[in-house]
Amino acid sequence: MRILITGSSDGLGLLTAKLLAKNSHQVTLHARNASRASDALSACPSAHNCLTGDLSTIAGIKAFAAEANKHGPYDAVMHNAGLYLGPFRATEDGLPALVAVNTVAPYILSCLMDKPSRLIYVSSGLHQNGNAALTDITWQQRGEAQWGNGAQGYADSKLHNIMFGFAFNRKFGIPTASVDPGWVKTKMGGPNAMDDLDAAVETFAMVCTGQSEAGKKDVGHFYQMKERAYREEAEDVERQEKLLKILEEVTGVKVPE
C-alpha cells in the first residue's frame, strides 16, 4: 500500500511509518520543514520520501495538498499532525496554531487531496471534553484572553477529528477511521504515560491498512487494537454539516461533490 502520514518526522507518526515500511508498505513521510524532513529520513531510511509543508496556515495547507497530489494517489492518508497544550500562537490567518493544525489542516487536505482508498484521523480520549455545540471553534470571539493553555481548544479539535471520520465516510463513500493513541510515552505524552506504546503504533498501522478490527467496519473509532466508545454527538449528521460549513467559511474550501 501507498500511505501518507502527516506529522511523521517524530513521535507516533514516525514509529508507525517505520512499522509500515518494515512490512513492505510504501510510506511517504511529512515534516514541516527541510531540516525536520532530513532528520525523518535519517530515522526512517526505508521511507519512500518525505514531503514538507507548513500546516499552520491556510496557504501552507493548500500548498501541501498540491504537493502531495503530485506524489499520489495514496491508498491511505493518515491525518496525524497535531499540536497539544501551549500558548495561543496566532497564525497569519488569525487562528490559533493548534486549531489550524488539528482541525483546519485535516479538513482542507481531505477536500483538496485526491481521494485515497482510506482516510484516518487521529483523535484522543480528551475529545470527551470537546464542545459538541461547535461554539466559536476558531476562537475569534473568545480570543487569546480565554485560551489559557489550550486544553479546551485541544479537546474540541479531537472531537472534530472523530466527526471528520463520520462526515467524510458519508461524503466520499470510502472507509474511514479515527484512532485514539492513548496516553503513551512520546514527546507529547511525556515520561509518566501509562498506555502501551507498541499497541498504539500497531493500532495506527492497523487503521492505515484496514486490517484486523479496522477491516470489519466501514467507519469506526479505535484504541489499543479494538473499537472504542466515543461521544455520540460525533455521529450526528447535523453537527457534522455545521462543522463542515464553518470550515468552508473560514477557509474558502468546499467539500467536493
The answer to whether 193 and 184 are in contact (CB under 8 A) is yes
Q: DSSP letter at 52?
A: E
Catalytic-role residue among 74, 107, 121, 154: 154
Partners of residue 96 on adjacent β-strands: 90
- What torsion do the CA atoms of 123, 15, 226, 236 make, to the nearest 10 degrees? 20
Catalytic residue flag (residue 154): yes
Catalytic-role residue among 18, 62, 158, 171: 158
Q: Which is nearest to 176 in space by CA: 231, 122, 245, 254?
A: 122
How many Å from the N-terminal Cα to the C-terminal Cα in the chain? 26
CA 139/CA 104 separation, integer angstroms: 13
Residue with cell 495538498: 65
User: Around Cβ 22, how many Cβ atoms within 10 Å?
Assistant: 12
Residue 208 corresponds to which cell in the numbers above?
A: 492505515
Catalytic residue flag (residue 121): no
Q: DSSP letter at 7?
A: S
Partners of residue 227 on adjacent β-strands: 222
Residue with cell 530515522: 43
Q: Write the CB contacts of 60 (distance below 8 Å, at least 6 apart in sequence).
A: 53, 54
Which residues are designated catalytic? Answer: 154, 158
